[in-house]
């Protein structure tokens, strides 16, 4: 089994992105699966082009995107990507689309094909806080999750895809004292534990367990 794991470069004046740093330090194999690591730009459209090229090159069984969600205190597994770009800040090329559909002929939304509840349980079992998120935002994280699912759908590929958000790491919040953070070591451990569950549940249904929210 091949698993393509992507991490974004730093954005919004940050000098580091914990998503990318974690991806770089993931094991090369997990439960016998080969982990293919890819840095992608925090740029609308260009990020999708890079991922689509990698899918064609490596023909992975799973595509897992990792992104930074500053302000969140847990590792969060995204349930859904929506067909809209609505950027509150510019991307790394200065692009700031407002209320633009990602794909005019795409679905209103694509749901993660990964066993998100099993992944949450696996990460928690490793001693790392985790939960399901029902919004990947409307910036490049949502964009790449949507674009990857759109590409898989239109090309009819036997590939499963999803997205995980990670918190800031401590060095990013030195001047942001109210912001939560998580050590890079714990982020790496959490992602690795989540990938284990993706492998174990690859041909199985997700766990039927509570994971929703009231609001």
- What's the CA gap between 201 and 88, in Å, rounded? 36
Q: Point out the residues that are catalytic.
A: 78, 141, 165
pLDDT tier, 212 (very low <50, low <70, confident <90, very high otherwise): confident
pLDDT of residue 89: 97
CA–CA gap between residue 191 and residue 205 (Å, rounded): 20
Q: Note whether residue 96 is domain-resident.
A: yes
pLDDT at 214: 77
Q: What is the CATH number of the domain that holds 24?
A: 3.40.630.20
> What are residue 166's phi and psi, to 5 degrees?
-125, 155
pLDDT of 215 above 90: no
Residue 114 clears pLDDT 80, i.e. is over it: yes
Specify if 65 maps to a domain. yes
List the one residue out of 22, 7, 15 whose CA is nearest residue 66.
7
Tell me if 210 is assigned to some domain: no
| Tally of domains in the chain | 1
In a domain, 107, yes or no: yes
With respect to residue 78, please indicate whether it lies within any of the assigned structural domains. yes
Pairing, β 29-30 against β 33-40:
antiparallel
Q: How far apart are CA 55 and CA 58, in angstroms?
A: 5
Q: What is the pLDDT of residue 179?
A: 95
Backbone dihedral angles phi then psi of residue 150, each to the nearest 5 degrees: -60, -45
Q: What is the per-residue pLDDT for 67?
A: 98
Q: What is the pLDDT of residues 4-19, one digit of tens each?
A: 999 999 999 999 999 9
Q: What is the pLDDT of residues 57-106, one digit of tens each?
A: 999 999 999 999 999 999 999 999 999 999 999 999 999 999 999 999 99
Say what the pLDDT of residue 213 is: 84
pLDDT tens, residue by residue, 145-199? 999 999 999 999 999 999 999 999 999 999 998 999 999 999 999 999 999 999 9
Q: Does residue 207 belong to any structural domain of this protein?
A: no
Question: How big is the chain by its Cα radius of gyration, in Å?
Answer: 16
- Using a cut of 0.85, tell me whether the model's pTM lies above it: yes
Domain annotation covers residue 209? no
- Evaluate the CA torsion angle 200, 202, 208, 213 in order and state its sign: positive
Q: What token pair was written down for 170?
A: 């401590």
- How many residues are there in the chain? 215
Domain that holds residue 86: 2-200
In a domain, 206, yes or no: no
d(CA 187, CA 156): 32
Contact 37, 25 (CB under 8 A): no
């Amino acid at each position: 089994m091949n698993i393509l794991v992507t991490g974004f470069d730093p954005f919004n004046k940050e000098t580091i992105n914990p998503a990318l740093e974690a991806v770089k330090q993931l094991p090369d194999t997990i439960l016998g699966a080969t982990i293919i690591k890819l840095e992608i730009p925090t740029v609308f459209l260009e990020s999708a082009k890079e991922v689509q090229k990698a899918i064609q090159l490596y023909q992975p069984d799973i595509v897992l995107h990792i992104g930074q969600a500053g302000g969140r205190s847990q590792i969060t597994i995204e349930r859904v990507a929506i067909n809209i770009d609505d950027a509150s800040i510019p991307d790394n090329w200065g692009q700031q689309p407002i209320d633009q559909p990602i794909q005019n002929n795409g679905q209103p939304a694509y749901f993660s094909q990964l066993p998100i509840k099993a992944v949450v349980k696996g990460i928690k079992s490793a001693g790392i806080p985790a939960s399901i998120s029902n919004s990947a935002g409307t910036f490049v994280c949502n964009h790449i999750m949507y674009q990857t699912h759109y590409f898989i759908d239109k090309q009819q590929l036997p590939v499963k895809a999803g997205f995980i958000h990670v918190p800031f790491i401590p060095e990013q919040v030195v001047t942001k004292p109210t912001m939560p953070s998580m050590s890079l070591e714990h982020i790496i451990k959490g992602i690795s534990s989540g990938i284990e569950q993706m492998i174990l549940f690859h041909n199985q249904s997700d766990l039927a367990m509570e994971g929703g929210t009231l609001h």
